[in-house]
Structures are given as structure tokens and as C-alpha cells.
Structure 1
Amino acid sequence: MTTRTTRLFAPDVKLCNGTRYNAAPLQMLPVIRSHPETKERTLSLLRWGLVPVWSKDAAGAARMINARAESVPDKPSFRSAFRKRRCLIPFDNFYEWRVEGKTKHPYAIGTTSNEKPDAFAGLWEGWKDPASDEWLHTFTIITTTANEVTAAVHDRMPVILPPSAWPAWLGEEEVGADDLVALMRPYPADQTRLWPVHRDVGNVRNDRPELIAPINPA
């Protein structure tokens, strides 16, 4: 997954600033977490681009909008969150770009699931600004190898978790690290759909329902 081109949108999730059809890194987006004691699920706005708790500043967040499934259990930036701060990012579809020579063509990708919205597997962190003592809560989306459908546009895809896996991922059920690793796999290709969309999705200032409409590829 190209970290600087991915867009997600969740038209079924009402945000404090309205419905989002072209979300982008460093924006505040809805994230589902589970309270470690009560197991109550909450929907909060967190900033896309993870800032590890040990960071000196938040400048590197743009480089951590995605985390590779292969390395999250052990990589210093993600291993603590993988153990204790897993989350879900609700979405309906997401955008990716296919590169052909010097030209990029945008596509929307979604699932055939009837249980909407879907959810990406993610990790979240709380970081305290040493200058202001204010807390910043951020998240990253975990990616894995592409399935046969998404491989037509990119070699990576987000980890999409079915509702049956949500309790384990959120920590509501006791599972081992190996069980969590097993969840971070490509979504079934026969339940994935892909269609070309307008180039306007390349500009994050464009944020309207028409962006997800299929078009005839140029």
C-alpha cells in the first residue's frame, strides 16, 4: 500500500464535522476502541498517523499512517500498541491507485459484506506533547499482501476484519499473539470488489458522494 495515496471513507459513520468521502492522513477520523476493564466499545476521533509514546515530537506521523502486518508484533514503533492498543477503523470503501507508465488511475475497493460498515485492523497510541502537556491520540492502519483482486492495482491492502474477529482484535476475548497474527491476512478475493473512479479523489479538498461513483476507465 502506498502510504501517501490511500484514502478511506465511511459514509455510514457520522462525524462531528459531517460525513467523510475522501479521508486523508493527519485528519481526525472515527476509531473504535474497547475499554480494557468494562469492554465497552467507544467511537472516538483520532488522528490518522501514529505517534509512538516515546517520540520527541509528532513530526513523523505522516510516515506511520500504515503498519505492515509482518512487522507489527516486533517493530519498536508498533509492538506495544499491538499488545495493548488495538482498534478498528470503520469504512465502506477505500481508494488506491494503479500506476501505468507515468499515469495513475484511481480505483475504489470494497467488500461484498452485508454488514456495513466494514473495519480495518488498526493500532492506536496516546502521546503527550512535552511542550504543552496535551495528549494527542493517533492511529495507524495495518496492511498485508494484496489478494487477487486488489493486486490488480497494488501489492498491499489494508487488513479487513470480519465482525466475528472484532472481539478478539479489540481485546474483548483472551487470545494469544499467534491468534492475532493469524487475523492479519488478506481479505478473501471472492468477497472483494474494485471499480475505477474519477481523478478528483486525488485532491483531498474534494469530498463528496460522487467520488465513489464508477466511471469508464480512460
Structure 2
Amino acid sequence: MRIMPASLDRLTRLALEEIAEAVAEAQTAIVFPSWGLRLSLAWLASRHGLQDWQVRQFLNVISRPIFDPHNAHVEWRTRAAQAHQFLELCHGILGLPPAFAPDLWARERRWHEEMLDPDTGRPHPWLMCNRYKPGERENIRQLFGARMWREFNDGPAIVHPKDPGWVIRQRDGELVLDQMTWGFPVVLTGKRGQPLKPKPVNNARFDKLGGFWKRWTGPENRCLIPAVSYAEAVGKSGEMTSTWLSLRSAPMFAWAGLWRDSDEWGPVYTGVMTDNAPELAGIHDRSPVILAPADWEPWLQAPLNELARFDRPWPADDVTIDATRNLWKSGE
């Protein structure tokens, strides 16, 4: 971004910087407007003629959910373009040069390169399966024969990214039931290279375990995620509803996961995803890696090069589908 003239009053400079940070964050995240951003917009509206409808439109652009996970990259790109248009509008109102140089998209790539899939150049697919039901704590403990690692509150009945969730991991040769935050924190950088608020990456593609995720794939970083069902968004963009999937053969199952300690949120975990069964591809092209009880120990202990056999979907004829009318964007 180009340097603003020193003649611009201090409050207007601060307001424009706050807006620019929100625009940068909107490239790869849903932005929940802070009081600082709202004050900045109010300042430009009261002192420089920004229209109320323009403010409302901008806030809607940066805070709206992704309605179609199957085409999420298109929605992210549209969000980015609309957010940049608003910043250019602010520059025009203030009589400033354009906010961005012609190499805009190249700069954006550098801003959020940590979030991008190295093969596709798109954000890592945490928009897959981003809510699930873990089940009751005592049922989890008994099913896995695990002891409580420490005392925790029960946590939510439906786990969303950045919520606390139950995890089974190994500790000194035994299984323990632990509670962690769902999603590895990935830190974005703003227009001046400053760190932005971390975002939770709650899914890890199996075919990336030997690349992007390799540093966290050792046995010491593997875990089991107890679940009774998981949800996907299905339907037309803007009208997507929640479809819940569970197993006919078991009231609770183990989802293959990875965990690590983080500076931002303490212990965190993410679920491993694989290609979906062809019969279920209409719901989503990927699904959680579900492990049979006989595979719990190998997932936790085997070398990485022996885990390829788990890169397969659970048989579709054992999956129960509950297509609800609940709007996905409601969060259940």
C-alpha cells in the first residue's frame, strides 16, 4: 500500500489504517468488525462524507459467511475484490492516490502465503467439515478406555473451529482423554507485515501429511477425535443447510487427528480428511478419516510411511445421512 500524505490529519490516518487492516484480513478470514473499525468508519462518515449505505455494504462484505464450501475460493476472491473496492473508495473520498499498485494480487499472495495450499494456491480447506458432535465425556472415556488427563468442563455439544473439544492421545504408554482447541492457529500478516489475529485451520488433507503437515505427523503428535456425527453444508449458495453424517455400525467413532502445543491457544488439534466415497460426493468431495477400533493403535503409533492405508473413505453403506432444514450459516 502506498504511503499516505503527512498532511492528512492523525485521526483520519489512523482510521484509514484500521480499515486497511480489515481489508487485508478479509482476504482469508471472516472479519467480525471491532469497535475500532466501527469508530474508524464512523469518523470517515462524519468528517469526510462516507455514506452510511457504503459503510453497511462494506461491513456485510467482510463479515458474511462462506455459503458454498465447494466453491469457497470463488467467494474468497469476490470478498477480496469488494473489500479492495471500498478501500479505493475511501482513498478517492480523501483525494489520495490509489491504494494498491498494479501487482495487487501478487502482493496478496505474499500477505497470506502461509494460508495457501502449495499445490492449488487456494486457502487450506478448513471449510470442509467445520462442525461435529463429540458425544458425552463419560461415554468417550469408557469407549476408548482412557483416563482423564485433567479436569475440564464438558465443552459444547456441537464443536466449531476454535471451540474446545475432546481428544484421545497417548501419554506414557496409556490413552488419556484431553481437551484442546479445535484448529491449528495460522498467523496472517497485514499490509505492513504486522501479525494479524490467528485463524483456526481445523482440517488437514491426508495427501499433505508428507508436506505442509509433516512436522506434526510423528506419533507424539497424533490423536483420535471422538465423534458421534459431523456436518457438511449442502444446497444452493446462500441457502445451504446442514447435513449430519454418522455411522450405522457404531454410536461413536474415532476421527484421525493431529495435535500440538501452540503459543496462541495452548494445545490444539485438527482432523485429517480424505476423498469422500463416490456415493457421498454430492454432499462433499472430502470426508473425515474414520478409524475402526483395530486401527486406533496403528494410527497413534505406526511410522508415517505405514499410514497410507487409512487414506480412504468410510464405506458409504455404513453412513447415515440426516439432511436437516437448518441453515448452515446459523451455526446450528
Asked if Structure 1 and Structure 2 have the same fold, meaning a TM-score greater than 0.5 normalized by the shorter chain, the answer is yes
Flag the 1:200–1:21 CA change in 2: closer, same or farther, 3 A.
farther
Q: Is the 8 Å Cα contact of residues 149 and 193 (structure 1) preserved in structure 2?
A: no
Higher percent of residues as strand: 1
Give the drift of 1:177.
2.4
Give the drift of 1:19.
6.3
Range 177-186 or range 15-24, more displaced: 15-24
Give the drift of 1:202.
4.0
Match of 2:168 in 1: 32
Equivalent of 2:320 in 177, 184, 193: 193
Which letter does structure 2 place at the counterpart of 1:13?
R
The aligned runs of 1:62-101 (5 Å cut-off) are 62=200, 64-75=201-212, 78-84=213-219, 85-101=221-237
Does residue 45 (structure 1) correspond to residue 179 (structure 2)? The answer is: yes
SS of structure 1 residue aligned to 2:161? coil
Does residue 184 (structure 1) correspond to residue 322 (structure 2)? The answer is: no
Match of 2:266 in 1: 136
Does residue 153 (structure 1) correspond to residue 275 (structure 2)? The answer is: no
Equivalent of 2:256 in 121, 128, 132: 121
Question: Over alpha carbons, which structure has the higher Rg?
Answer: 2
Flag the 1:57–1:92 CA change in 2: closer, same or farther, 3 A.
farther
CA distance, structure 1, for counterparts of residue 225 and residue 233 of structure 2 = 21
Q: Is the 8 Å Cα contact of residues 149 and 192 (structure 1) preserved in structure 2?
A: no
CA distance, structure 2, for counterparts of residue 101 and residue 89 of structure 1 = 30
- Structure 1 portions without partners, runs of 5+: 130-134, 207-218
CA distance, structure 2, for counterparts of residue 47 and residue 57 of structure 1 = 20
Does residue 60 (structure 1) correspond to residue 198 (structure 2)? The answer is: yes
Does residue 12 (structure 1) correspond to residue 136 (structure 2)? The answer is: yes
Flag the 1:61–1:165 CA change in 2: closer, same or farther, 3 A.
farther
SS of structure 2 residue aligned to 1:197? strand
CA distance, structure 2, for counterparts of residue 198 and residue 91 of structure 1 = 22
Give the drift of 1:99.
2.8
CA distance, structure 2, for counterparts of residue 125 and residue 58 of structure 1 = 21
Flag the 1:58–1:187 CA change in 2: closer, same or farther, 3 A.
farther
1:136-182 CA distance string (max 9 Å, x none): 110111111111343121111111111110001111xxx33232122
Q: Is the 8 Å Cα contact of residues 130 and 202 (structure 2) preserved in structure 1?
A: no
TM-score w.r.t. the length of structure 1 is 0.76
Q: Is the 8 Å Cα contact of residues 184 and 268 (structure 2) preserved in structure 1?
A: yes
Q: Is the 8 Å Cα contact of residues 240 and 327 (structure 2) preserved in structure 1?
A: no
TM-score w.r.t. the length of structure 2 is 0.51
- Structure 2 portions without partners, runs of 5+: 1-68, 70-124, 139-150, 187-193
Runs of 4+ in 1 over 4 A off after TM superposition: none
What is the aligned-residue identity percentage?
24
Does residue 164 (structure 1) correspond to residue 294 (structure 2)? The answer is: yes
CA distance, structure 2, for counterparts of residue 154 and residue 143 of structure 1 = 11
Give the drift of 1:67.
0.6
CA distance, structure 1, for counterparts of residue 258 and residue 205 of structure 2 = 11
CA distance, structure 2, for counterparts of residue 144 and residue 66 of structure 1 = 10
Q: Is the 8 Å Cα contact of residues 150 and 157 (structure 1) preserved in structure 2?
A: no
CA distance, structure 2, for counterparts of residue 101 and residue 198 of structure 1 = 14
SS of structure 1 residue aligned to 2:272? strand
What is the Cα-based RMSD across aligned positions, in Å? 2.6
